[in-house]
Structure 1
C-alpha cells in the first residue's frame, strides 16, 4: 500500500516503491492554484527534495483536470507591485525546485493545463496527456505576463517563434498539437495514463540514482553551456557512473547475452 506522507487540504501526496505522487486536489475548481495549494505544494516538493528514498515524481490533477491556472477568485485585492511580486516569488521557488530536482518528474495532463497549470506541466521531464488535455498560455487575456517558469521552459521546448505565438495569441491547443510541438511525449486514453506513468516511473526508479541524476542535470544545463563544459561533465560523470555495481551487472548481462535489467515501457 502507498504511504500517505502528509494530510493536505488541497493535495494528495503518496509514496510507494520509490515513486512519489503529487495530485492537485481541488476538482471543483479544476485544481486552480489558491494560496493554500501553493503553500502545500511548496511543502510537498521540499519534502521530496530531502527524501532520498524518492527516485521519481509523478505530478497530476484530480477530477478530470490538471490545473486551470491561478485561482482568480481567491487572489488578494492588494494591487501593489511589491505585493504581487512577493506572491509570485513564493510560487516560483517551488517551480524552480521542480525544474532543478535531481530526479525525474513525470506530468500527467488530463483536461485543462492553463496559465500556471501549463507552467507546472512544463517543469516535468516527461509530459503524458490524454486526448481530453487542453493547453493554453492564457496570461495576456488577463493583462498578465507568462509566469510559473514558462518564459524559461517554453522557448526551450517549442522554439522562440512558436513560444511567442502561443504567448501573444493566448490560444488553446490540444494534446496532438502539444505533441507535435514537443510539449507532450505520449497521448494515452484516460483509463491508461495513470498505469503508464507509473510503469515509466518504476522503470526509472530502478536505475542508479547517480547516473540518472547526472544525465538530467547535464541535459538541463546543455542549452546554457558550451561544448568544453559539457565534455567535462560527461567525463567526470561517466567516471562515477561506471564505478557503480549497477554498471558492472549490466555489462555482465550484456556479455552473457542475457536480457537487460532495464526495459522502457511501451505506450
Structure 2
C-alpha cells in the first residue's frame, strides 16, 4: 500500500516506520503524503489507541531530501512554500491527533528529523541516537516545528545553543536535558518501545487525547482559557465508558480495564 513507509497494527498499536534507509529516511514528497495518510488512518481507526513512529536502517531520519527539493524547483526553491505543504501540515496533524504518538529513535536524528521526533508525545532513544539541529550548517533556520517545540522541551538557553551551533547531542545528554524520556541499549529499543506503546494502548484513550491537546494549548492561552479548556475536556471525558469503568474499579478496589470507549 505504501512505498516509503511501513504500516502495521497489532494490539491496539499502529507501528509506522520511515522506510527510505538508503537515504537515511530523508523525507521526499511521497513520504510526506504517505505518513500523513497513515496518521489519518490511525486517527480514524477506533481499534488503534497508540502510534509508534520509528526509522528503518541505520537511523531515524536525516530530515528533508534536499536533492529532491532543489531538483524539483530547478535549483531555486521557495522553501517557505515547500514547508507549508509538507512539514507544517504534517506536524500540525501529529499534534492535533487525539491519540499518543511514541517516537522510537536510533542513530542520526537530524534537522527536520528532530522536529518530527519532537512532534511525537513521548520519545524512547537507543544509546546510538544522536540529535543535531543541523539547519545552520546549510545557512537555514530551524523548521518542522523545531523552533516551537525545542525551547519548550529543553529550555530557551539550550535550544539557542543547539540551533545556533548545530553540534550533535548524544543520547545520554538528550535524556539529561529532557529531549527524550528514556534511553535504552540499542538491542532493547524495540522491546522497550513496544512495552510503552502497549501500556498507552491499554489506557483511557479519550482522556489521553484531551490531556495532549490541553497541554499543547496551555502555552498559548491565559488562565481563563486553559481552565475553560479543562472544563470542556472533562465534560467529554466524563461521559466516556472508560471514566465509568475507572470509577467502578476505584470503588471495587481493582485495576481498571479500559477499552478506549
TM-score > 0.5, shorter chain as reference: yes
Runs of at least 5 residues in structure 1 that lack an aligned partner in the other structure: 1-6, 263-267
Q: How does 1:38-57 map to 2 (within 5 A)?
A: 38-57=32-51
Contact preservation (8 Å) 1:68, 1:115? yes
Q: Which residue of 2 aligns with 1:10?
A: 4
Q: Which runs of 4+ in 1 moved over 6 A?
A: none
Distance 1:99 1:112 in 2: 23
Q: Does 1:34 align with 2:28?
A: yes
Distance 2:241 2:79 in 1: 50
Report the secondary structure of 1:199's partner residue.
helix
Equivalent of 2:160, from 147, 159, 164?
Answer: 164
Distance 2:244 2:154 in 1: 38
Contact preservation (8 Å) 1:45, 1:94? no
Q: Which residue of 1 aligns with 2:17?
A: 23
Q: TM-score, normalised by structure 2?
A: 0.90
- Tell me: CA distance 1:45–1:255, structure 2 relative to 1, closer, same or farther (3 Å): closer
Report the secondary structure of 1:127's partner residue.
strand
Equivalent of 2:110, from 114, 125, 130?
Answer: 114
The Cα of 1:260 is off from its aligned counterpart by: 4.7
Contact preservation (8 Å) 1:122, 1:153? yes
Q: Which residue of 2 aligns with 1:127?
A: 123
Q: Which residue of 1 aligns with 2:97?
A: 101
Distance 2:45 2:245 in 1: 26
Q: Does 1:226 align with 2:222?
A: yes
How big is each residue's C-alpha offset from its partner over 1:69-99, in whole Å with a ceiling of 9 and x where there is no partner?
1223333243445x33222211121121112
Report the secondary structure of 2:70's partner residue.
coil
Distance 2:194 2:248 in 1: 28
Contact preservation (8 Å) 2:95, 2:213? no
The Cα of 1:175 is off from its aligned counterpart by: 0.8
Contact preservation (8 Å) 2:98, 2:206? no
Q: Which residue of 1 aligns with 2:65?
A: 71
Runs of at least 5 residues in structure 2 that lack an aligned partner in the other structure: none
Contact preservation (8 Å) 1:69, 1:115? yes
- Tell me: CA distance 1:43–1:261, structure 2 relative to 1, closer, same or farther (3 Å): closer
Q: Which residue of 2 aligns with 1:84?
A: 79
User: How large is the RMSD of aligned CA atoms in angstroms?
Assistant: 1.9
| Matched length | 255
